[in-house]
Structure 1
Amino acid sequence: MILHPAILALLAGSFMASAMLLYSSWFGIQIIRSWDLRSGSELQLGLEKRTYLISTIMSYAFVFQLVSLFLFIYTADSLCTLFVGAMCAAGTLNVNVYGYPAFILKLGNFILAGLWLILNYADNRAHDYPLIRKKYLLLLFITPFLVAETFLQTLYFLGLEAEVITSCCGSLFSKEGRDSLPLLYALPLVPMKLLFYSAMAGTGISGFRFYSRGKGAHMFSAFSLVTFMVSAWFLVHVIVLYIYELPTHHCPFCIFKKEYAYIGYLFYMTLFAGVISGLGVGLLRPFVKIGSMRSFVPEIQKRLALIALASYATFLFLAVYTMSVSALRM
């Protein structure tokens, strides 16, 4: 294991978050089984006293989860000089078999954590906690994935040894690597651009329709998810080529480096903000008519829709600007 401040911070934070999730899950099982606001029992009073504290603790744990994704990428990138062949985070993650599985789990847990925070925020706004069972069911669903992430991340960091020979991003994400990443190069450039702009247009139209009329929440959420996947694909397949000004270099990690003005962080932040906010609109849709939530849930949905639209618009602007000013022409 390499003793690096960021590694120690990630490990400590992940263990604390996992411990808090496990405790909160045990508490959540009690909530799911026994929560009844009409009851004045000692058990119910105890649950009511602890639920706000547990929700607050979990909010901090999930905020750390959001931050940890980018800290993980930064750490992997900063360690690349220690490994022969590594040029960025791509090579560092490939040092052992646990790097990429841990990273993929972090991506999924990032979205799940964001959705839980939205559900928790809406539930805490109501005086009678109408979503308390649902948010703890979601917590029970998230917990195994976050614990698995902590386990894989720990194995990954423990298995890091300096001077290990690894693959560089040029071999991992070049066109010669098509056999290992077949879907990445499945479409020609023009259809890929058409698909990207169509997804953005669909999200924009459905988003403005929901924001102005309050209709089509689930449609907007579906478009947001599709646009997230298409945009991530488009980023790696097309946009990075214009950033690197190399027609064969598809690495999704070099854009986090200083020489590219750390533009990768902005691209990925806008993507994740867009998909989480967009999915949050549909997530809250079934609860619009609940009595204690009727007055504020539509407003939360509108704010989320606006954040999603602004995030995807920013991503679109960055993509168009990058392709316009690049010296590469395809």
Structure 2
Amino acid sequence: MLTDYWVITQLLIQVSTLLIGLGAVYYGVRIIAGWDEVAVSEKQLQLERQTYLVSSVVRFALLFQLFSLILFMVTVNIHIPPLIKGAMCAQGVLSVNEYGYPLLYLKVLAVFLYVLFLSMNYLDDREPTYPLTPLKYWLIPPIAIILLVELLLMYLFFAGITPDIITTCCSVAFSDWGDDTTVWTLSEEWIDYLLWVFGGLYITILLLNARKGIAPYWTLLIGVGYVVIAILLLKLHFVKYIYGLPSHLCLYDIFLSQYHYVGFGLFLSYYILLSLLIFKNCLYLKEGTLRYSYSRLKTRIDYFIYILTSLIILIPMLYWILWEGKL
């Protein structure tokens, strides 16, 4: 599979991003060691020029990593399945070897570290004294480590895919209840309980976001729980209404065209909601060191949080209502 042009593209993106990350680590260590925001020396001026260049390069590299996650999903969910016997979607492709799911989980979770850096970089670039520069550069070494691990997992995963492999997909996974299965369900009683929790968290986020003076990290913590419950219910309950099949609980088909790519819309909503909450916490925690007024930006963020939080619950509920809760 290493000769496939989709795979080669992703490996090149990963290698390029890793090289940028390693270069950023080198310059980041120098910047952290010599940074003095109150100094007016030539050395400080050179460091400020370096940090502007390095931050810009890292910003674009991390944006490419966000694009890489989408490209990876399209590759394992659409491009590769026709090439592997027994695979119909990413469920079968990721199960080809032991590196598939760790790679997916790492790519999914790493996005939030990238978002944290991009949020701090955005705030730092708008300030005349760059007050967040030393702090944001402490994030680059762990980012570089993640990029290296991700490259290794990606290489091992794609290298382990050969045309003679026969894998199992939904038709086998949903009837196989051995210890190795990755598919599981909950009783209707637990589903009802989770639906009430889902609705309760939705109302809680709206109320917390509307109240002034409440630390936004509470909204972030509840927002994480809200998104986790949303994905869990999507996987175990709502997808069957999207497909119109009571026995089909695969989470990957919602990214296909016949279901209007609704999966991309939902997961993009999850990511943007959590990213806005992370950004709002960065504003809150570093507000004392920032000179620029962000009151108008905060208001816009609050509006987007309302919209995205509502979309996350309304979109799957509309499918449920369309089928009147029965199939």
Q: Same fold (TM over 0.5)?
A: yes
Distance apart, 1:291 and its partner CA:
4.7
Corresponding position of 2:197: 195
In structure 2, distance between residues paired with 1:132 and 1:244:
48
- Deviation of the 1:158 alpha carbon: 2.0
Q: How does 1:1-330 map to 2 (within 5 A)?
A: 1-77=1-77, 78-172=79-173, 176=177, 180-181=181-182, 185=186, 188-209=190-211, 213=212, 215-293=214-292, 295-296=293-294, 298-326=295-323, 329=326
Label 1:179 to 1:159 Cα distance change in 2 as closer, same or farther (>3 A).
closer
- The 3-state SS of whatever aligns with 2:28 is helix
1:258 maps to a residue whose letter is S
Q: Any idea what SS the aligned residue of 2:291 has? A: helix
Q: Distance in 2 between matches of 1:96 and 1:162?
A: 13
- Answer with 171-180 or 231-240: which moved more: 171-180
Give the whole-Å Cα distance in 1 for the aligned partners of 2:175 and 2:134: 47
Instruction: Give me the TM-score of the superposition, normalised by structure 1.
Output: 0.90
> In 2, Cα distance between the equivalents of 1:253 and 1:8?
23
Pair 1:165–1:128, CA change in 2 (3 A): same
Deviation for aligned residue 1:84: 1.2
Whether the aligned pair in 2 keeps the contact of 1:114 and 1:276 (CA below 8 Å) is yes
CA distance in 2, matches of 1:26, 1:33: 11
Distance (Å, rounded) in 1 between the aligned partners of 2:276 and 2:85: 40
Residue pair 1:80, 1:92 contacting (<8 A) in 2 also: yes
Return the alpha-carbon distance in structure 2 between the equivalents of residues 154 and 106 of structure 1: 14
Moved over 4 A (4+): 177-184
Cα distance, 1:173 vs structure 2: 5.3
Whether the 8 Å CA contact 1:174–1:248 is kept in 2: the answer is: no
| Aligned amino acid, residue 96 of structure 1 | N
Q: Separation in 2 of the partners of 1:102 and 1:242?
A: 29
**Alignment check: 8 A CA contact 1:93 1:99 kept:** yes
2:319 partner amino acid: T
The answer on whether the counterparts of 1:2 and 1:162 sit within 8 Å (CA) in structure 2 is: no
Shift of residue 242, structure 1, vs aligned partner: 1.1
- CA distance in 2 between counterparts of 1:178 and 1:326 reads 34
Q: Distance in 2 between matches of 1:184 and 1:285?
A: 40
Asked whether the equivalents of residues 191 and 233 of structure 2 are also in contact (C-alpha less than 8 Å), the reply is no
Give the RMSD, CA atoms, in angstroms.
Answer: 2.3
Asked if structure 1 preserves the Cα contact closer than 8 Å seen for 2:124 and 2:131, the reply is: yes
Query: Residue 10 of structure 1: CA displacement?
Result: 1.2
Q: Deviation of residue 166 (structure 1)?
A: 0.7
Unaligned ranges ≥5, structure 1: none
* Alpha-carbon distance in structure 2 between the residues aligned to 1:27 and 1:169: 48
**CA 1:324–1:275: 2 relative to 1, 3 Å:** same
8 Å CA contact 1:84, 1:166 repeated in 2: yes
Distance 2:251 2:210 in 1: 31
- Distance in 1 (CA, whole Å) between partners of 2:298 and 2:245 is 41
Structure 1 residue 113 displacement after superposition:
1.2
Tell me how far apart the structure 1 counterparts of residues 23 and 303 of structure 2 sit (CA, whole Å): 35
Provide the rounded CA distance (Å) in 2 between the counterparts of 1:267 and 1:178. 30
Give the deviation of 1:58 after TM superposition. Answer: 0.8
- Count of matched residue positions in the alignment of Structure 1 and Structure 2: 325
**TM-aligned CA distance change 1:79 to 1:249, over 3 Å:** same
SS in 2 for 1:292: coil
CA positional deviation for 1:180: 4.3
Residue-by-residue CA offset, 1:30-61 (whole Å, 9 max, x unaligned):
12221013334454332111111111111111
Shift in Å at residue 303 of structure 1? 3.2
Cα shift at 1:182: 8.3
How far 1:131 sits from its partner (Å)?
0.6
Task: Judge which range, 183-192 or 257-266, deviates more.
Answer: 183-192
Report if aligned partners of 1:15, 1:150 keep a CA contact under 8 Å in 2: yes
Task: Answer whether contact 1:243 1:326 (CA < 8 A) is retained.
Answer: no
1:217 maps to a residue whose letter is P
CA distance in 1: counterparts of 2:318 and 2:76, whole angstroms: 28
Instruction: Indicate how the Cα distance of structure 1 residues 324 and 88 shifts in structure 2: closer, same or farther if over 3 A, else same.
Output: same
* Secondary structure, counterpart of 1:289 in structure 2: helix
Give the TM-score taking structure 2 as reference length.
0.91
Conserved 8 A contact 1:242-1:327:
no
Q: Any idea what SS the aligned residue of 1:188 has? A: helix
The unaligned stretches of length 5 or more in structure 2 are none
Give deviations 1:2-24, integer Å, cap 9, x for gaps.
43332222111111111111111
